[in-house]
Structure 1
Amino acid sequence: MKVVKFGGSSLASATQLEKVLNIVKADTDRKFVVVSAPGKRNAEDTKVTDALIKYYKHYVAEKDVTKDQDWIIQRYQDIADELQLDGRVMENIKATVLELATLPIKDNPFLYDTFLASGEDNNAKLIAQYFNENGLNAIYMHPKDAGITVTNEPSNAQIIPSSYDTIEKLSELDEVIVIPGFFGVTQDNHICTFSRGGSDITGSIVAAGVKADLYENFTDVDGIFSAHPGIVHNPNSIKELTYREMRELAYAGFTVLHDEALIPAYRGRIPLVIKNTNNPSHPGTRIVLTHSNTQQPVVGISADDGFSSINISKYLMNREIGFGRRVLQILEELNIGFEHMPTGIDDMSVVVRDRELTPIKEEEILRQLTHKMEVDKAEIERDLSILMVVGEHMKDQIGVTAKAAKALSDNDINIEMISQGSSEVSILFVIKTAQKNEAIRALYTTFFE
Structure 2
Amino acid sequence: MKVVKFGGSSLADGEHFQKVIDIVSNDSDRKVVVTSAPGKRFDGDIKVTDLLIQYANKVLAKEDYHEICDQIASRYQEISDFYKLEDTTMHTIKTKLLNLASETYVDDDHLLATFKAHGEYLNAIMLADVLNNQGISAKFMNPKDAGFLVGGEPNNADVLPETYSNLDKITFDTTKIIFPGFFGYSKDGSIYTFTRGGSDITGAILSRGFHADMYENFTDVDAIYVANNHIVDHPQAIKKMSYREMRELSYAGFSVFQDEAIIPAVEGQIPVNVKNTNNPSAPGTLIVPSQFLFNPANPITGIASSKRFSALYLHRYLLNKEVGFTLKLLQIFYKYNISYEHMPSGIDDLTIIFDKSKLTDETIKNLCNEIKKVLQPDYLEWIDDYAIIMVVGEGLAHTIDTMGEIIDSLTQNNIAIHMLNQGASRISVMIGTQSKDADKAVRAIYNTFFN
Which TM-score applies when normalising by structure 1? 0.98
**1:208 Cα deviation after fit:** 0.3
Whole-angstrom CA distance in 2 between matches of 1:106 and 1:297: 52
Whole-angstrom CA distance in 1 between matches of 2:102 and 2:48: 20
Contact map agreement 2:60 2:108 (CA 8 A) in 1? no
**1:371 Cα deviation after fit:** 2.2
Partner of residue 326, structure 2: 324
Secondary structure of 2:158's aligned partner? coil
Which residue, out of 345, 354, 357, partners 2:356? 354
What pairs up with 1:125-136 in 2 under 5 angstroms? 125-136=125-136
Contact map agreement 1:60 1:105 (CA 8 A) in 2? no
Partner amino acid for 1:227? A
Which stretch of the first structure deviates more once superposed, 318-327 or 46-55? 318-327
Contact map agreement 1:35 1:199 (CA 8 A) in 2? yes
**1:90 Cα deviation after fit:** 0.8
Partner of residue 13, structure 1: 13
What pairs up with 1:8-407 in 2 under 5 angstroms? 8-104=8-104, 107-290=107-290, 291-295=292-296, 296-407=298-409
CA 1:191–1:106: 2 relative to 1, 3 Å = closer
Secondary structure of 1:157's aligned partner? strand
Whole-angstrom CA distance in 2 between matches of 1:219 and 1:387: 25
Whole-angstrom CA distance in 2 between matches of 1:364 and 1:99: 45
Partner of residue 415, structure 1: 417
Contact map agreement 1:14 1:83 (CA 8 A) in 2? yes
**Unaligned 5+ residue runs, structure 2?**
none
Secondary structure of 1:218's aligned partner? strand
Contact map agreement 1:240 1:285 (CA 8 A) in 2? yes
Secondary structure of 1:119's aligned partner? helix
Partner amino acid for 2:294? N
- Total equivalences in the alignment: 449
Secondary structure of 2:169's aligned partner? helix
Contact map agreement 1:306 1:383 (CA 8 A) in 2? no
**1:447 Cα deviation after fit:** 0.9
Secondary structure of 1:235's aligned partner? coil
Secondary structure of 2:309's aligned partner? strand
**Pairing 1:440–2:442 present:** yes
Whole-angstrom CA distance in 1 between matches of 2:360 and 2:125: 44
Secondary structure of 1:434's aligned partner? helix
CA 1:30–1:274: 2 relative to 1, 3 Å = same
Which stretch of the first structure deviates more once superposed, 5-14 or 292-301? 292-301
**1:356 Cα deviation after fit:** 2.9
Whole-angstrom CA distance in 2 between matches of 1:325 and 1:199: 39
CA 1:272–1:328: 2 relative to 1, 3 Å = same
Whole-angstrom CA distance in 2 between matches of 1:150 and 1:143: 10
Secondary structure of 1:158's aligned partner? strand
**1:322 Cα deviation after fit:** 2.1
**1:422 Cα deviation after fit:** 1.7
Which TM-score applies when normalising by structure 2? 0.97
Whole-angstrom CA distance in 2 between matches of 1:298 and 1:108: 46
**1:325 Cα deviation after fit:** 2.0
Whole-angstrom CA distance in 1 between matches of 2:203 and 2:111: 24
Contact map agreement 1:313 1:348 (CA 8 A) in 2? yes
Secondary structure of 2:344's aligned partner? coil
**1:334 Cα deviation after fit:** 0.7
Whole-angstrom CA distance in 2 between matches of 1:237 and 1:374: 50
**1:168 Cα deviation after fit:** 1.5
**1:326 Cα deviation after fit:** 1.6
Percent of residue pairs identical: 45
Whole-angstrom CA distance in 1 between matches of 2:123 and 2:362: 44
**1:85 Cα deviation after fit:** 1.4
Partner amino acid for 1:405? I
**1:360 Cα deviation after fit:** 2.6
Contact map agreement 1:370 1:376 (CA 8 A) in 2? no
CA 1:440–1:20: 2 relative to 1, 3 Å = same
Contact map agreement 2:4 2:32 (CA 8 A) in 1? yes
**1:377 Cα deviation after fit:** 1.1
Contact map agreement 2:204 2:261 (CA 8 A) in 1? yes
**1:370 Cα deviation after fit:** 2.0
Secondary structure of 1:72's aligned partner? helix
Which stretch of the first structure deviates more once superposed, 90-99 or 358-367? 358-367
Partner amino acid for 2:78? D
Secondary structure of 1:102's aligned partner? coil
Secondary structure of 1:136's aligned partner? coil
**Unaligned 5+ residue runs, structure 1?**
none
Secondary structure of 2:262's aligned partner? helix
Secondary structure of 2:388's aligned partner? strand
Secondary structure of 2:306's aligned partner? strand
**1:152 Cα deviation after fit:** 4.7
Which stretch of the first structure deviates more once superposed, 2-11 or 369-378? 369-378
**1:174 Cα deviation after fit:** 4.0
Contact map agreement 2:13 2:75 (CA 8 A) in 1? no
Whole-angstrom CA distance in 1 between matches of 2:118 and 2:279: 29
Whole-angstrom CA distance in 2 between matches of 1:439 and 1:141: 47
